[in-house]
Structure 1
Amino acid sequence: MGVLEDKARARVFYKYLSRVYDEINPFIWNESMRADAIDWLDPAPDDRVLDVGCGTGFATEGLLERTDNVHGLDQSSHQLERAWEKFGKTDQVRFYRGDAERLPFADDAFDAVWSSGSIEYWPDPVATLREFCRVVKPGGSVLVVGPDAPTSSVFGRVADAIMLFYDEDEADRMFDAAGFEEFEHHIQQARPGSPRAITTVAHVPE
């Protein structure tokens, strides 16, 4: 398990990162990549969508262009404070502080779940993906964006010591173990040489 897959360490990490997150994020995960991913999720205007690990609300902002019913959850109070500054006063989004492994929602509460830049901090990704499957209605969609595994074995060992990095084979294993039967992966990159993202779109069995 990587250092930042410990929840307490991750909260401390984001206490400081939240101050510069919106300035750093576009170098790794930009609006064009977000737009492509939202197209793959393809939420309908009346869909109820949960953004897990919503952070400062970068993905939330994009989702609001497609549906007015967006809910954001994050374990970091510091990240949520930044998100609240953007959306809270207008009541555009309802935010929750909570744990992705134990979502505080009823079964079949959402039409879709989105999660970008969060899976790498989950101590048990399969348990969290099962939670996504639980709170999404049968036939609904789940989209997860995480860091694609480095091709260099040396850098890969260093990366894994910090947080979860995974490839398409590992993504297959995780989504299959979580109960998903249909899913597809896309590799995204902000620019040549920048870190790659692996974006998986899965469908909850009916």
Structure 2
Amino acid sequence: MTDRLPSADTLRGRRSGIEPVSVFDEIRPDEHPRTGELRRWAVEFLCRPHEDLGRTGPVCPFAAPSIGRGLFWAVFVEGDIDEDRMREIADDMAELFADLPPQSGSDAALKALVVVFPDVTDFEVVDRVQGDRKSGFVTDGLMLGQFYPGCTVSGLRNSEFRALDAPLPMLAVRHMVGSDFPFLTSDREWILAYLKKFAATVPSMVRGHIADRIVVS
């Protein structure tokens, strides 16, 4: 069995009061009744290949290592959450993510934090909050993603693949990685944040991608 890293002391969002827990460490008697659904989606969808993905390997290359090290953190927030409340939660996610263990070393790159909104049915709120807060996350070297049932965001290599279609509405944050560049090309500040983080180690494929976008006037 893989050794687990130490659990965090209780961390609480200063705006929203959210308290992340590592949902693959153990089954807790007080956990939300849909936690099992979250676990199944993570293991059976994120950690496995998909015929429509457009490449080999699992849908999310980082999910299995995150789960295996006990670094897949989650919070369930019940009720019909409005946009202002969800923004507060997103802002707390950024702060809490930095404080979750480990804060350094190779395992720090494997952390993931998911906030699930099981009672939200207006998924446009999730889209708006993700769009509104993404720049702040990217500036800090993080990626903020939105997931919900029927999400139509296209996959990177197959426009018909819906990687963000999930059984539960949620926001998710993880560290930015080198292969994230194609998700950041629509905004100059995002590209600058990417280059600041990866300037010394930009993959050759991405260097070509950047070069293709240089226009000589």
- TM-score, normalized by the shorter chain, greater than 0.5: no
If each structure's strand is expressed as a fraction of its own residues, which one has the higher value? 1
Compare CA radii of gyration and give the structure with the larger one: 2
TM-score range, shorter chain: 0.3 to 0.5
TM-score (norm 2): 0.35
